[in-house]
Chain A
Amino acid sequence: MTAENRISLSRHENKLTKSVKMYLRDIKGVIGLFILLVFIVMAIFAPVIAPYSPDTMTDDVLQSPSLNHLFGTDHLGRDLFSRVIFGTRISLSVGFVAAGLSAIIGVFIGSFSGYYGGATDDIISKVIDTFLMIPAFFLILIIVSIFGSNIMYIMLVIGLTTWPRNARLMRAQALSIKEKTFITVARSTGESNMRILFGHVIPNGIFPVIANSALQMGGAILTEASLSFIGLGDPNLTSWGKLIYQGRPYMTYAPWTIVIPGIFVVLAVLAFSFIGDGLQFTFNPKNKGEK
C-alpha cells in the first residue's frame, strides 16, 4: 500500500513539475505572474512602500506628478501614489475573495450535479443555464444598492452571481471522470460516494475551474471598480475604482487623478487574464506534448 502510494505521489510530482515547466514556457503567463507578485508585495507592504499616509490632507491640492509626489495629489492634497498603493489591498482582496467564493460554490454544485446525474442534474443544469444568462452586473447593482455597499456584501454578491460558469466547467469534468476506470475500481472497493467525490472527482477535475478563477479575479476587480465609479463602493475604503470616482470632477485640470488608478486596474485585469489563459493552456490535454 505504501509503495503504491509513493509511486502515485512521485508520478503526481512529476506531473506538477511538468505543468510548471509548461506554464513557464508561455511568456504571457510569466508576465502575468510577475505583475501579480508585484501587486501582492505592494498590498502586503503598503505602509512601508507608501511615502505618505494615504489619508493625510495637505495644502498641495491637485499637484501634477513630480519627484515629491510620484503620481501627483488629489483634490484634498493627498498623495496619489500612496493612495494607489493602499488601494491595491482593497482591489486585490475583492478579486481573491469573490473569485474564491465563486469557485467553491461552483465546484460543489457542479461536481454534485455531474456525479449524481439524473433528475437533480437536469434541474441544476437548467438553473445554471438561467443564471448564466442573467446579466450579473445589473443584479449586483440592485443587490448592493438595496442591501448596502459594505465591502463584504460586494465580495459576497460578486461571488454569488459568478459561480455558474465554474459549476458548468466542474459538471462537465465530473461527467467525464465518473466514467473512468479508477472510479469504478474505487466504487467496487466500497468507497462511499462522498469519498469518491471529494477524493477523486474534485481533485482530478478542478483544473479548468482554477484557470477560470484567475479570469474571474480580474472580472471581480472590474466589477468592484465599476460599482465604486457609480458611487456604490464601500464608503469607508479606497479602491482603485473609488480613486477614479473621486478624481472625475477634477479630471480636466488633473487628468492623473483618473488615468493612473485606471492603469492599475488595467494591469491587474491583464495580469489575471494572462495567468488564466496560461493555466488553461497548461491544463489543456491537447497540449500534453510539445507546443
Chain B
Amino acid sequence: MYRLSFLCSFLEVKGLSSLGRFIIRRTLSIIPMVLLIVAINFFIIHLAPGNPAQLISGLEQPSPEVIEALEEQYGLNQPLIVQLGLYYRNIFQGNLGYSFIYGTSVNGLIFERAGATILLTVTAAIIAFIIGTLIAVWVGRRKTKVLDSIFSVLAYIFYAMPSFWLALVLILTFSSTFKLFPTSGMFNVRESYEGFAKIGDVLYHLALPCATLALIQIPVFFRVTRSSIDQVHQDEYITTFTAIGISRKKIFKKYVLKNAILPTITIFGLTLGYAISGAALVEIVFAWPGMGRLMLDAVFRRDYNLLLGIYFVMAVCICLAILITDIVYALVDPRIRY
C-alpha cells in the first residue's frame, strides 16, 4: 500500500495530466477486483465434495501414502486461506500452476490456445460492429417504419438464438447441404499449406464459426446504435439546427452520428472482454482449437489449476476491456473530464 501511494505521489511530482492520473488510478483499482473474483472462484472450487488428491493421482482407490504425498506436494493439506495466499503469490510471479490432466504448465496451455480464440472473437466482434452499426445508421437515416420494424424483429430473433444451435444450423445448411465450408477445425489436416495458402485455409475454416458469433452479436450493436441515434435526434440542439435550416443530411453526418456512435464503443469493448466465455460454446461445436475446449476439459475433469487459470485470464480480460473502454471514451468524448 505504501509503495502504491509512493508511486502515485511520484507521478504527481512528474506533473502528469489529469487523464494520465485517471488511467493509473483506474488501473490500480482493477487489481482488487480481479483478486476478489479469483477468491470467489477459488472457494467455490475448493468447496467441492471429493478429494482433489485422488483426482490428481488418477487412481480409483489410491493408497493413503499416495494421497499424503500428493497433498504435501501440492500444498493441499494446508488451510484454504493459506492455499489462496500461495495462489496469489504465484499469480504475482506470473505462474498459474500446473495442469493435472495435461501434465504441463497452465501458462503454456492457455498461451497455446489463446491465439485461436483471439482470432475468432476479434474478427467476429469487428464484423458485428461494422455490420450492426451500418444497418442501424442506414435504418436510422431513412426513418421508414417498415425497414425499421423488419430489422428490429430480425434483431430480436437472432438475439434469442442459442449460439450452439445457430452453429449447428449453419453447419447443416452450409456444410452438409451445400458443402461450402468445413464443419470443424482450424486447418485442413490432410494438406500442409504454406504462406498465403495457409492463411486462406484458416480463413476458410474461420468462416462459419465467425459468422455464428457475428450473427449473434450484430443485434446488440444494431439495437444500441439505433436507440442512441433516436436519443440524439430528440436532443434540443438537433431541433434547433433543424429550425435554423441546416439540411438533415448535414445534421446527421456532422452531429447525430458522432454522438450516437459513442455507446457502441462500450459494447465493442465489453464484447471483447467477454469473448472467452462468449465464444466457448461456438468453439466447442466447431472443434475450434481455442480455449473453449480447454475450459470444458477442465470443468469435466476438475483440473483445479486449469480452471482457476482460465478464470483468472477471463477476469483480467474483462477488467482490462472495461478499463480500456473507459480510457477510449475519455479520449473520444471531450465532455468527459476527470
Q: How far is the CA of A145 from the CA of B303 in the complex (A)?
A: 12
A252 interface residue (CB < 8 Å to B): yes
Label chain A's interface by main secondary structure: helix
Of B164, B280, B295, B307, which is in contact with the most chain A CB atoms at under 10 Å from its CB? B164
> Which residues between 244 and 269 of chain A lie within 8 Å of chain B, taking CB atoms?
244, 248, 251-252, 255, 258-259, 262, 265-267, 269
A145 and B160 in contact, given A135-B277, A248-B168 (Cβ under 8 angstroms): no
- B77 CB to closest chain A CB (Å) equals 20
**Which residues of chain B are within 8 angstroms of A251 by Cβ–Cβ distance?**
168, 171-172, 176
A138, A230, A262, A270: residue with the most chain B Cβ atoms closer than 10 Å: A138
**Is the Cβ of B37 less than 8 Å from the Cβ of A262?**
no
Q: Which residue of A lies closest to B166 (CB)?
A: A262
A134 at the interface (CB under 8 A from B): yes
Interface centre among A133, A241, A255, A262 (most CB of B within 10 A): A133
- A262 touching B162, Cβ below 8 Å: yes
User: What is the interface of chain B mostly: helix, strand, loop, or mixed?
Assistant: helix
- Asked whether, in the complex, the Cβ of A138 is within 8 Å of the Cβ of B277, the reply is yes
CB of A143 within 8 A of CB of B176, answer no
Chain B CB within 8 A of A142 CB: yes
Comparing B6-14, B17-25, B83-91, B311-319, the segment that makes contact with chain A is B311-319
Which A residues are CB-close (under 8 A) to B162? 222, 225-226, 229, 241, 244, 262, 265-266
> How far apart are B21's CB and chain A's nearest CB, in angstroms?
22
User: Are B322's CB and A133's CB within 8 A?
Assistant: yes
Q: Which residues of B contact A222 (CB under 8 A)?
A: 160, 162
A139 to chain B, nearest CB (A): 7
Encode contact with B along A95-138: 1 for CB under 8 Å, 0 otherwise.
00000000000000000000000000000000001100111011
Q: Separation in Å of the A9 CB from the closest CB of chain B?
A: 36
A230 B37 Cβ-Cβ under 8 A: no
Q: In the complex, what distance in Å separates the CA atom of A248 from the CA atom of B36?
A: 39
A134 lies within 8 A of B40 (CB): yes
Q: How far is the CB of A113 from chain B (nearest CB, A)?
A: 17
Question: In the complex, what residues of A have CB within 8 A of residue B272's CB?
Answer: none
**Closest CB in chain B relative to A204 CB, distance in Å:** 26
Q: Which of chain B's residues have a CB closer than 8 A to the CB of A206?
A: none
Among B45, B176, B322, point to the contact of A142 (Cβ < 8 A).
B45
Closest-by-CB residue of A relative to B278 is: A135
Q: Is B48 an interface residue (CB 8 A)?
A: yes
User: In the bound complex, how far is the Cα of B58 from the Cα of A174, in angstroms?
Assistant: 53
A contacts with B, residue count (CB < 8 A): 37
Q: Any chain A CB within 8 A of the CB of B157?
A: yes
Check if B172 sits within 8 Å of A259, measured CB to CB.
Answer: yes
Known contacts A138-B295, A146-B302: A270-B160 contact under CB 8 Å: yes
Q: Mark B127-160, 1 if CB is under 8 A from A, else 0.
A: 0000000000000000000000000000011011
B299 touches A133 (CB 8 A): no
Give A273 to B157 CA distance when docked, in angstroms: 10
The answer to whether B277 touches A229, judged by C-beta atoms less than 8 angstroms apart, is no
User: With an 8 A cutoff between CB atoms, is B255 at the interface?
Assistant: no
Query: What residues on A are CB-neighbors of B302 within 8 Å?
Result: 145-146
Judge whether A133 and B157 touch: CB under 8 Å: no
Partner of B299, one of A141, A244, A248, A273: A141
Q: Is A29 located at the chain interface by the 8 A CB criterion? A: no
Residue pairs across A and B with Cβ atoms less than 8 A apart, 15 shown, are A129-B33, A130-B36, A135-B274, A135-B276, A137-B280, A143-B44, A145-B300, A146-B44, A225-B162, A225-B165, A230-B296, A248-B168, A251-B176, A255-B172, A258-B168
| 7 further contact pairs, Cβ within 8 A, besides A222-B160, A259-B169, A270-B156 | A135-B277, A138-B310, A145-B300, A146-B302, A147-B49, A230-B281, A273-B156
User: CB within 8 Å of B: which residues of A?
Assistant: 28, 129-130, 133-135, 137-139, 141-143, 145-147, 218, 222, 225-226, 229-230, 241, 244, 248, 251-252, 255, 258-259, 262, 265-267, 269-270, 273-274
